[in-house]
Amino acid sequence: MRIVVVGATGNLGTATLRRLADAPGVTEIVGVARRTPTQTEPPYSGVQWKSIDIGGPSAVAELTHAFTGADAVVHLGWALQPSHDEPAMWRTNVTGTANVLRAAAAATVGHVLAASSVGAYSTGPKHKRVDESWPTGGLPTSHYARHKAVNERAFDRFERENPDVLLTRFRPGLVFQEGAGHEIKGLFLGRLLPTGWLKFVRPPVIPLPAQMIFQAIHASDVGDAFWRAIDRRAPGAFNIAAEPVLDPQLIAQVLGARRAVPVRLLAAKFVVWLTWRLHLQPTPSGWVDIAANVPIMSTARAREVLGWTPTVSSTDALASIVAGLAHNSRTPGSGPLGG
């Protein structure tokens, strides 16, 4: 089986490469990235690398060549920065996804799998679980959610226009692994903000809005879900998340604080927005909206159809990224949230 992984040096990419390396019947893995790695250790060893800018003018032709003869294409490419330049992110996230789909159709790939996100969902409930039929309109205040929602419509069109191709889309919660600590620090906190103190000091309290209730998953469990979908040739959408659902008190517990102190959601958004506008940190306030407004997902379909069960709890997944931030851990090439 020949499998091509687009965005293979990202957080989900590295986890998926690790899973595919142990998968029976996989004879060839092709990794696509804008900058191919120079490292030769796992998970990069044994991978054939293609340097392709998926948002570039020649992307469709280059991707079609890379996809030819593939049994499955896994699309994980994504840009989270520069957050002050949405057209630049659109080029990778939306144009790049369209190019991947066009190339997959041109190369007659039989199975396309893509990472969507819980961020693709419209505002939903926190007190009950929603399945994959919940509307995927995104949140207008978040560029990440807007891009994911646009891509969901692209997936819908691809399914209609290519009925002979299996399309699988995964909607994971926030994806963590310790090796992504260095990249998450740079992408969400900024290179200048120190995090090494987390090794020695735990904050007594954590200020968080009460609405900050969301789901998380370890990258390795998402990689396993991708392989299961490939192996079982399972199309459709799948919610992917671990238990328990994270709330302010659980977050405080993982961070070693005594408790979470409630703050107003609007106040938290304003502080994040202002510091982002002043270029003091790189995270726009739309990320606060995602954590506060996306629904809590049911993962029943993934468990039933894929036989999938997470092996790492959400609290341990969160603890892993806290450790990664504390130690500035770096899996070569890894970045958060699947791209």
Residue spans of the domains in the chain: they are: 2-173+218-240+298-308
Spatial distance between the Cα atoms of 283 and 336, rounded to a whole number of angstroms: 13
Entry pTM: 0.92
CB atoms within 10 A of CB 161: 10
pLDDT band at residue 195 using 50, 70 and 90 as cut-offs: low
pLDDT band at residue 335 using 50, 70 and 90 as cut-offs: very low
pLDDT score recorded for residue 41: 85
2-173+218-240+298-308: CATH topology: Rossmann fold (3.40.50)
Q: What angle do CA 337, 152, 15 make, to 5 degrees?
A: 30
How far is the CA of 101 from the CAs of 94, 154, 256, 303, in angstroms? 11, 8, 44, 27
CB atoms within 10 A of CB 169: 24
CB atoms within 10 A of CB 259: 12
The set of residues, in sequence order, having a beta carbon less than 8 Å from that of 278 and lying 6+ positions away, is none
pLDDT score recorded for residue 338: 39
Closest CA to 20 of 99, 147, 116, 113: 113
Tell me the average pLDDT of the chain. Answer: 90
pLDDT score recorded for residue 256: 86
Tracing tokens 């979908």 back to the chain, one arrives at 229
The set of residues, in sequence order, having a beta carbon less than 8 Å from that of 288 and lying 6+ positions away, is 209, 212, 265, 268, 269, 272
The set of residues, in sequence order, having a beta carbon less than 8 Å from that of 181 and lying 6+ positions away, is 195, 321, 323, 324, 325, 326, 327, 328, 329, 330
Percent of the chain with pLDDT over 90: 78
HSE-CB at 120 with a 13 A cutoff on CA atoms is 27
Spatial distance between the Cα atoms of 294 and 132, rounded to a whole number of angstroms: 13
**Per-residue tokens: 80:** 């989270």
